[in-house]
């Protein structure tokens, strides 16, 4: 799982995401130019479920589980 998480972190960075360091099975990521709410809706429409927290400090961030 660690290798999968690290590969996902690098892939997200390569396409413009800012990712926070993680030692868990979750990644906290925000895109440089696309708002979190828009990403959340687009992913959900494709059947990809991530968490979006619509709070001031976290509104552009997604929590992505690696499993």
pLDDT of residue 58 exceeding 80: yes
Calculate mean pLDDT across residues 12-31.
94
Q: What is the pTM of this model?
A: 0.86
Give the long-range contacts of residues 57-65, CB within 8 A, separation 24 or more.
Answer: 59/35, 60/30, 60/31, 60/35, 60/36, 61/28, 61/29, 61/30, 61/36, 62/28, 62/29, 62/30, 62/36, 63/26, 63/27, 63/28, 64/8, 64/26, 64/27, 64/28, 64/29, 65/25, 65/26
Percent of the chain with pLDDT over 90: 79
């Amino acid at each position: 799982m660690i290798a999968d998480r690290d590969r996902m972190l690098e892939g997200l960075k390569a396409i413009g995401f800012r990712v926070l360091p993680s030692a868990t099975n979750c990644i906290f990521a925000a895109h440089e130019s696309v708002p979190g709410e828009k990403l959340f809706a687009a992913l959900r429409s494709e059947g990809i479920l991530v968490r979006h927290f619509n709070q001031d400090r976290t509104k552009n961030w997604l929590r992505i589980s690696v499993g």
